[in-house]
Structure 1
């Protein structure tokens, strides 16, 4: 990223040019990203191509004022952090399903970020409802966050009894082995510690945007953290506003005009038409 792109990205986040790659700066940018750049899968249902190239990702987030899902959001955020002097490594993850089984390889993209003091952090602005702030790789116990209590632990067996052997957590955050990220005691996803590049995730992005088995092809979502620490989500035509204490209000939007207005006023996304689920053949 060049300095002009960096400045434009920071303006999108409502952030000033930081003084350096410190943990305080990382925490601020992480939260601002979650508040201003929505987690959304609209491209899947608008017929828009998802291209995992740095320039295309930054153009979508900064110039087009859009969001995306994990590959796009963490890919773009990682490019910004690297341009600001942070050490950034792309990590591949596999998401745990409802029955405790791991998803496909390259199911998720997260970031390992090194700050100027040598600290190692898990930054993830692309998992939907997750931690508001980066998580410390070096902490062995639970980490309290507005999003809940998180834990980075050794990789345990999934529902099929598969376990990865050596743990990166046990090795002090080394570059081998796997680690599980837990929320409230429940395993969310498994991370491989070896470095990856954006092109490694192309097959995963294609699967998530085309497969009938992917939840992204079966539903519409646009969601972000609110300024008070809650969350606002538009699922199809249902608008959900969740307060920091967990209480939720829902209402169904009646007209296309209302839907487009919410996309613009609540998420900063201007669309020419209302996206609708494509209705892929689940048996095909």
Structure 2
């Protein structure tokens, strides 16, 4: 993998080193540059998880992806720089309070002076890695994050306001190291099953320096300085134009 081209693609400046400062910079740069999107699923392009395929899609063709793609290629980058990286299994919390099955989500743990939760493939979450500790709140621009520990599981919670606001659990995970291939079954499910939300609705989203831009089916949602603006798209051509303008994604596809 061409590390320099990858670093240029995510607008990382400087010489990467296996330390916390570089990890925080890389995570933030990746989140700002590479969107969370399921276009390959919606337009039946297939998901290919080899390092060469991921590099071609994300770096050479300026695309994004979902957790199994984004965290996998980010782990390769970190490992080549010299970080100690483990894949971990996450279980997404549904609206009814239940959790998905094991391998529902792929995240990473990077061990430096202590373990850090690294995740560039969840969508609207933290911009820089989180300490895997339960003793403190960890505020970021996208909310205040906190980890709860129960048995083998850590639960990732976010509050969007002050400490008194409601905490939303995003997902839970264990620290058991996993092999990337263990996620292939759930990746296939999310790519193909009518029950998977990834096959049901198009999404393309990325944070900005002061908000977020999201295309959700026919809705364009732009949040800037906590001000939300929503507009409706009326054609496939408008959707392609939004992808081109806001995400620099060129798609030569027919309407799904």
TM over 0.5: yes
3-state SS of 1:240 partner = strand
For 1:124, which of 119, 123, 135 is the aligned residue?
119
Q: 1:47 & 1:19 partners in 2: Cα distance?
A: 36
Partner of 2:88: 91
For 1:72, which of 60, 69, 72 is the aligned residue?
69
Partner of 1:141: 136
CA deviation digits over 1:4-45, x for unaligned, max 9? x11111111011243411211111111111111000001111
What does 1:18-33 align with in structure 2 at a 5 Å threshold?
Answer: 18-33=15-30
Shifted more, 52-61 versus 219-228: the winner is 52-61
Q: 1:196 & 1:275 partners in 2: Cα distance?
A: 37
CA deviation digits over 1:153-184, x for unaligned, max 9? 213xxxxxxxxxx3xxxxxxxxxx22111112
**Offset, 1:50:** 1.1
3-state SS of 1:233 partner = strand
1:225 and 1:231 in contact (8 A); partners too: yes
**Offset, 1:132:** 1.3
**Offset, 1:201:** 0.6
Shifted more, 132-141 versus 197-206: the winner is 132-141
Q: 1:244 & 1:134 partners in 2: Cα distance?
A: 22
1:94 and 1:104 in contact (8 A); partners too: yes
Partner of 2:244: 264
**How large is the Cα RMSD of the aligned pairs?**
1.5
Partner of 2:158: 183
Q: Which has the higher strand share?
A: 2
3-state SS of 1:125 partner = coil
Partner of 1:174: none
CA deviation digits over 1:232-280, x for unaligned, max 9? 01112221101232x210112234333222212211211012552xxxx
Q: 1:183 & 1:97 partners in 2: Cα distance?
A: 15
Q: 2:184 & 2:8 partners in 1: Cα distance?
A: 29
Q: 1:140 & 1:111 partners in 2: Cα distance?
A: 21
Partner of 1:244: 225
2:16 and 2:81 in contact (8 A); partners too: no
Alignment of 1:232 onto 2:232: no
Shifted more, 218-227 versus 261-270: the winner is 261-270
Partner of 1:81: 78
Q: 2:130 & 2:245 partners in 1: Cα distance?
A: 31
For structure 1, the residue ranges without an aligned partner over 5 or more in a row are: 156-165, 167-176, 277-284
Q: How many residues align?
A: 249
Shifted more, 205-214 versus 135-144: the winner is 135-144
2:236 and 2:255 in contact (8 A); partners too: no
What TM-score do the two structures reach when normalised by structure 2?
0.92
